[in-house]
Amino acid sequence: MFNTLSAEEQYIPSIHRKESDVNLFSKHWKYLPIVSLAVLLTGCLSDDDTPAASTLGGTAATGAPIVGGTVNVKCAGGSTLSDVTDSAGIWRVTLSGQTLPCAVEVSGGNLVGGQTYYSVALQPGTVNITPLTDLIVANLAGQAPGVWFGGLNANAFQQITGGAVNAALGNLRTALGLAALDDIDPLTASFDAEPGDPLDNVLEAMQIAFTNYALLLEAAFGDGFTTFAEQYRAALSEAYADLPIGNGGGSISCSGSEESLTYDGSTAGGPHSDGQQICFTASTTSLAFSGKTLTNPTQNLAVQAPYSAYVFVDTGARYEVIFNGGDLHEINVLSADGNSFYGQFAASSTPGGGSSSLTIRVTAGGVASPDIVVGSVPAPANQFQFCNDLWSDPNFTGLGSAGTLTINSCSFANNVGTISATVAITTPVNISVPYTVTYTYN
């Protein structure tokens, strides 16, 4: 047993979680299908049958975001698409008549010396453009990505297959040898180009370890990728380890089954900084965070139902994971010998600075629907957080067999989010309605 807390503290975990769903701010998306149907009932209808469209978009970054960069998208079929990255490096285009796969290029903006980076997309959704995706393209193509992109033809697009992309990703992971990449797909992982984001930290560490990126890129063309990169692995690993994980009090976006917890450090000397946020995936058999996975825990049988506790051992620290029923509740951080209590990870405070009253207004054809007010909704911290999950959220687009909902644009500033969308109904009538939804966080 780890007698680092009082009996009350150790065996009766404090209630930090307000409800089992950690990602509270995304809950308001589920109101949108209802709002969309309400718009139809107002009579603001159009006879235009606009076909549904899908999107490609993501983050362009080298560690810092690529701001003002021009993104060009070439697909196996259809015209070239373009966009400009915003202050967070975010870009997005709407596919209309294009056939995947697609190749993506970013240039200009705050990139220096004519630098360009490339990426590939096998399906609609998130597509990042970074030095990591650039290396994947180089390994996939067997030549300089810029030369490959400039000479794209039908044969080249046929070579962009799931198997080929996965093989190139595997070669990248082997060459760099960084555990943080084992569970992250640089092409499709949602991330913030901010210090503390695990994928962004990899990009930052690469800048430190690989002082001549051009040589690394050239090595990625062929079989010498691993041989060249392995001489820099120690420097890369050290650089990554020196970077803080989490945003040091800022917000951090988690995906899938991950849950965001914030560290409250009561004792100096622990492995984390006060206010640090980390995305955890926890079960009674494994604990995954910051590119590592801990297994073979010891159960703390002194913790009583409905709570349970499992202790995972890491280099220099132990993590006592507390569950409330089947839900992750909090994580106590202990010294390696279990005799000192460093601090605790608990449910992160709401992104953007607390819980807000959310007002949703729909406008179609110049007519606004009655406001819908939703209480206790955490405000997003930035445009990426507001927009990113929305593009693929089935709660938003889930109209079932009745039709489809297409997001045309999304923005967020000064606590106001604006979405331009089109709902196309095929049953029982064939109609299309463009409209705007405004979210105001008070």
Whether 47 maps to a domain, the answer reads no
Asked which of 242, 275, 290 is the last residue of a domain, the reply is 242
Chosen domain end from 219, 242, 265: 242
Query: Mind giving me the DSSP string for 188-231?
Result: T----SSTT-HHHHHHHHHHHH-S-HHHHHHHTTSTTHHHHHHT
Domain that holds residue 279: 253-347
> Is 11 part of any domain?
no
Determine if the pTM surpasses 0.85: no
Q: d(Cα 65, Cα 373) in Å, to the nearest integer? A: 34
Tokens of 76: 């196996």
Asked, for residue 311, whether it belongs to a domain, the answer is yes
- Are residues 85 and 207 part of one domain? yes
Residues 206 and 277 in one domain: no
Give yes or no: residues 337 and 369 share one domain. no
**Segment 214-224, tens digit of pLDDT:** 999 999 998 89
**Out of 249-263, 308-322, 389-403, least confident range:** 389-403
Same domain, 205 and 291: no
State how far the Cα of 220 lies from the Cα of 199, in Å rounded to an integer. Answer: 20
Q: Are residues 222 and 76 in the same domain?
A: yes
Residues 69 and 197 in one domain: yes
What band does 8 get if pLDDT is binned at 50, 70 and 90?
very low
Asked whether the predicted pLDDT for residue 250 surpasses 50, the reply is: no
- Pair type for strands 99-107 and 431-441: unpaired
Q: Tell whether 424 and 338 lie within a shared domain.
A: no
Greatest mean pLDDT among 37-46, 61-70, 187-196: 61-70
Same domain, 196 and 268: no
pLDDT at site 170: 94
Q: Which of 347, 363, 392 is the last residue of a domain?
A: 347
Q: Is residue 360 situated within a structural domain? A: yes
Examine the domain organization and report whether 88 and 143 are in the same domain: yes
Judge if 323 and 213 occupy the same domain.
no
In 3-state terms, what secondary structure has residue 176? helix
Q: Locate the DSSP E strands across 235-387.
A: 259-265, 277-282, 286-289, 292-295, 298-299, 307-314, 317-324, 327-335, 341-347, 355-364, 367-368, 372-378
Q: Is the peptide bond before 101 cis (omega within 30 degrees of 0)?
A: yes
Residue 369 DSSP class: P
Among the ranges given (83-92, 222-231, 324-333), the one the predictor scored with the smallest mean pLDDT: 324-333
Say yes or no: 157 and 268 in one domain: no
Nearest to 230 by CA among 179, 181, 175: 175
pLDDT tens column, 80-112 = 999 999 988 999 999 989 999 999 999 999 998
Task: Say if residue 189 is in the same domain as residue 287.
Answer: no
The predicted pLDDT at position 436 comes to 80
* Position 390 confidence tier, pLDDT thresholds 50, 70, 90: low
